[in-house]
Amino acid sequence: MHKRPLPAFDKHSDQKTEFFMAASHQLKSPVAIVQWCLQSVLEDSALDPANRKMLSRALAQSNAMSSLLSDMLNVFRLMHGSETALVPVDVNHVLDQVVELYKPVAERQHVRLMVGPIETLPHVLADDAYLKQAIINLVDNAIKYSNEKGKVQIEAAYAKGRISISVADSGIGIADVDQGRLFKEFFRTEVAREKTHDGTGLGLTLVRHIAERFGGDITFTSELGKGTTFVLTLPAQK
Ligand SMILES: Nc1ncnc2c1ncn2[C@@H]1O[C@H](COP(=O)(O)OP(=O)(O)OP(=O)(O)O)[C@@H](O)[C@H]1O
Ligand SMILES: [Mg+2]
């Protein structure tokens, strides 16, 4: 089971964070304009197939850049510590939303998405967009790093004032030597990079910051070639 404290922030790194946050924010608008222009040109049915292919690639890359910028901004926001308003969040509802969102993704990848047992959970004090993002990142990974005909199982339970959400897969797994670096920004295992280019290595960094922001934590167990289970734990609202 892996859990390490997040690095402490010093003044110098806070200044760097502010700089990167401003830079990422400034980049969002031009990237959105590039996406919009490419989408508009691609709507032209008379487009030559070779050009269509090139423009589609450009659009896919600009979509990836846009989601990278959003992830970076979210990491910076969470690191920078500006307070998030905490409200009671219905975790069962968030789980339902994520499952609905990912059913078609799992189907496309020929992965069985199994849900349950899921207990009726007490609310948690959190921000529902961030909480949803954390669960999405875990389910997204579980499906992405599964093999064809693999199985992903989502469960949720409540005990001793804490709720735990587990996402288990029978996928590629994580080698022991990589396990200590998993939550580090931009880290991706070699096996994952061989499997897909789709990923920046920020998803788990975000999950960790989100969990800690709401007083919870994230742990995992994994065996290379066998599968991985992540468990997100959060305190229930008193
Ligand atoms: N369920 C999993 N099974 C195997 N490896 C995993 C799993 N989840 C995460 N990993 C490993 O941890 C790395 C970091 O995960 P993370 O979600 O941060 O990044 P990513 O999926 O590569 O990209 P993205 O930022 O788009 O989520 C992955 O690249 C992969 O090597
Ligand atoms: Mg990911």
Tell me the pTM. Answer: 0.87
Kindly tell me if the per-residue pLDDT of 96 is higher than 50: yes
Higher model confidence: residue 33 or residue 82?
Answer: 33
Q: What pLDDT is stored for residue 2 in this prediction?
A: 53
Q: Are 116 and 124 in contact (CB under 8 A)?
A: no
- The proportion of the chain whose per-residue pLDDT surpasses 90, expressed as a percent, equals 73
Q: Minimum-distance ligand to the CA of 209?
A: 1
- Count of alpha carbons within 13 angstroms of residue 116, beta-carbon side: 2
205 C-alpha vs ligand 1 centroid, how far in Å?
Answer: 10
Q: Which residues line ligand 1 (CB under 6 A)?
A: 71, 137, 141-142, 145, 169, 171-174, 182, 187-189, 192, 199-205, 228
Given a cut of 70, whether residue 9 has pLDDT beyond it is: no
pLDDT band at residue 61 under the 50/70/90 scheme: very high
For the chain, the farthest-separated pair of C-alpha atoms sits apart, in whole angstroms, at: 63
Atom of ligand 1 nearest to the CA of 146: 3
Reduced DSSP (H G I as helix, E B as strand, rest coil) percent helix, strand, coil of the chain, to 5: 50, 20, 30
Do 180 and 2 form a contact (C-beta atoms < 8 A)? yes
pLDDT digits 0-9 by tens, 218-237:
999 999 999 999 999 999 99
For residue 67, give the ligand 1 atom closest to its CA: 26
- CA-CA distance, 172 to 169, in Å (whole number)? 9
**Rounded Cα–Cα distance for residues 61 and 70 (Å):** 14
**Burial bucket for residue 41 (CB in 10 Å: 0-12, 13-18, 19+):** middle
Q: How many CB atoms lie within 10 A of CB 35?
A: 16
Residue nearest to atom 9 of ligand 1 (CA): 141
